[in-house]
Amino acid sequence: MRVGLLCSSSLGLTGPDVYLESLIEHLVKQDELEVYLIHDSRSNHPVFKKANEIIVPPFTFLGQTLLRKFSLDILHFNIIWDAIYFHFLKVKKVATVHGDIEWAIPSLDYSPHLSPIKRLLDRVSSKCLDAFIAVSNDLKDRISRFLRIQKSKIYVTYLAPRNIFYQLKKANGDHLRRSYGIEKPFILHVSNFGPKKNPETIFKTLKILINDHIDVDLVMAGGGWKNEKYVQKLVTRLGLHGRVKILGFVPIEDLNLLYNSAEVFFQPSFHENCPQTLLEAMACGTPVVTSSVYSIPEVTGNAGILHDPKDYVAFAGSIKEILTNEEHQKELQQLALKNVKRFSWEKTTQQTIEIYRRLASQ
C-alpha cells in the first residue's frame, strides 16, 4: 500500500509536528507500506532520509497533477485545509485533527483568537476528505458537531510519549545545578506558554504555596514562548522574583531530566486536546496536577489531580499535599507510570494502518 503524508519540510516541536515525526518513524518500518513524504522543498531533517520524498509546489492545485504518477492509495494530511489543494486527486484522503481552538466558543475565562477564514477553510476542506483521525474522543465529538460529519468517519488515535521520556533510576542533580541553576525542589511547567496555558493560575498557585512557607520554586521550560513581557509583569506583581526560573528551549535529554527531577508537573490549561507534555511527565513517573477540561481527564485517567482551571486555591492545596506527603507522592508516581502504558506509538501506528486498510478497501 502506497501512503503519502503531506508535511512541512521543517518539522518543529509543536504537538502536530511531534505526532507526524513519530508516526513517520514507525510507518517506515512496516513492510506492507511504501511511505512518501510530500512537501515543498528539500529538507535536512533526518526523518526525510527514511522514506521517499515528493516535492510539490506550495498551495497550488499543480501538486495533485504531479502526484498522479505515484499511484498513491492513501493521502494523509496533518492539517484539514491542506486537503482542498488535492480535491481532484483520485485517492482516499484522511486528515489528523489536533485541535479545535479556532472553533471554540469564547468564555469568561479564556477567549481564543478566532479566525473566520480558518473556520471557513476547515468546513470547506472537510468535504474533500474520506475520513478523519482525532487525537481524543472528546475532540471527536467536537469535530462531528462543528464540521457536521458523521462520527463513523472519525477515528481516534492518541498521541504517545516519545521513547526519550522514561523514569530515571537516579536524576543528575549536579547537571541541573550547573546548567540551569536549579537548587531547590521545584514544580515544572512545559509549554510554548500561550494564553491557553493559563499563566495567572500558575503564578497565583505558586504565590499561595510560598505564603504557606512551602520551599519550592517554579521552573518553566519550552521554546517559542509568547507574552513573555506579560509573564514578567505577573512575576513582579505577585512578588515572585527569585522563585521562577524561565529556561526557554532545553535539549530533549535535559527535558527528560527535568521531568524526572520535578516534584510535580503543573499544567492548568484552559484548552487541551491530547496534551503531549502530560504524557511525557507521566512516562517519567512525575505526579501530575492539571485541569479538568476538554480531553485532559480522558488522557490522565485516575493518575492526575484535576481541578477547574481557575481554582488556584484548589491547585495549591493539591500540590502542597503532594510536597508534604511522601506516601501520596509515591502513589501518584505509580499511577502515572501505570496510566501511561495505555499510550504507545506502536499502538497508534497499528491503529493508523488499520484506518488506511479500511479506506483502501472501500
Residue 60: Cβ within 10 Å count: 12
Same fold across 2-160+344-361 and 173-342: yes
Out of 148-157, 241-250, 339-348, least confident range: 241-250
Give the three cell numbers for residue 334. 505509580
Distance CA 39, CA 82 (A): 11
Distance CA 6, CA 54 (A): 9
Out of 77-81, 229-233, 309-313, least confident range: 229-233
Distance CA 194, CA 228 (A): 9
Residue 108, pLDDT score? 41
pLDDT at 145 over 60: yes
pLDDT at 107 over 60: no
Q: Are 306 and 296 in contact (CB under 8 A)?
A: yes
pLDDT at 154 over 90: yes
CATH of 2-160+344-361 given 3.40.50.2000, 3.30.9.10, 3.60.150.10, 3.30.70.890: 3.40.50.2000
Residue percentage of the chain with pLDDT more than 90: 66
Q: Are 307 and 202 in contact (CB under 8 A)?
A: no
Reduce the DSSP state of residue 305 to 3 states and report it: strand
Residue 102, pLDDT score? 65
Residue 354, pLDDT score? 98
Q: Which of 140-154, 157-171, 316-330 has the highest mean pLDDT?
A: 316-330
Give the three cell numbers for residue 169. 533510576
Longest dimension (CA), the chain: 68
Which of the four pLDDT bands, split at 50, 70 and 90, describes residue 11? Answer: confident
pTM of the model: 0.91
Residue 233, pLDDT score? 85
Q: Are 240 and 306 in contact (CB under 8 A)?
A: no
Give the three cell numbers for residue 275. 496534551
The strands making up 288-291's β-sheet, listed across from edge to edge, are 244-248, 217-221, 186-190, 264-267, 288-291, 304-307
Per-domain boundaries in the chain:
2-160+344-361, 173-342
Residue 115, pLDDT score? 65
Least Cα distance to 97 among 124, 135, 52 occurs for 135
Distance CA 262, CA 232 (A): 22
Q: Are 168 and 257 in contact (CB under 8 A)?
A: yes
What's the CATH superfamily of 173-342?
A: Glycogen Phosphorylase B; (3.40.50.2000)
Least Cα distance to 198 among 94, 341, 312 occurs for 312
In tens, the pLDDT along 24-39 reads 999 999 999 999 999 8
Q: Are 269 and 198 in contact (CB under 8 A)?
A: yes
What are the residues facing 264 on neighbouring strands? Answer: 187
Q: Name the average pLDDT for the chain.
A: 90
Give the three cell numbers for residue 237. 506583581
Q: Are 273 and 99 in contact (CB under 8 A)?
A: yes
DSSP strand E in the chain: where?
Answer: 2-6, 34-39, 52-55, 74-77, 92-97, 131-134, 154-156, 186-190, 217-221, 244-248, 264-267, 288-291, 304-307
Residue percentage of the chain with pLDDT more than 70: 93
Tell me what percent of the chain is helix, strand and coil, each rounded to the nearest 5.
45, 15, 40
Q: Are 133 and 96 in contact (CB under 8 A)?
A: yes
With vertex at residue 265, the alpha carbon angle to CA 161 and CA 279, rounded to the nearest 5 degrees, is 15
pLDDT at 109 over 80: no
Out of 17-21, 208-212, 257-261, least confident range: 17-21
Residue 101, pLDDT score? 67
Q: What are phi and psi of 189, to 5 degrees?
A: -130, 130
Distance CA 42, CA 38 (A): 10
Residue 124: Cβ within 10 Å count: 14
Q: Are 332 and 288 in contact (CB under 8 A)?
A: yes
Residue 121, pLDDT score? 81
pLDDT at 124 over 80: yes
In tens, the pLDDT along 255-302 reads 999 999 999 999 999 988 888 999 999 999 999 999 999 999 999 999
Which of the four pLDDT bands, split at 50, 70 and 90, describes residue 3? Answer: very high
The DSSP symbol for 104 reads P
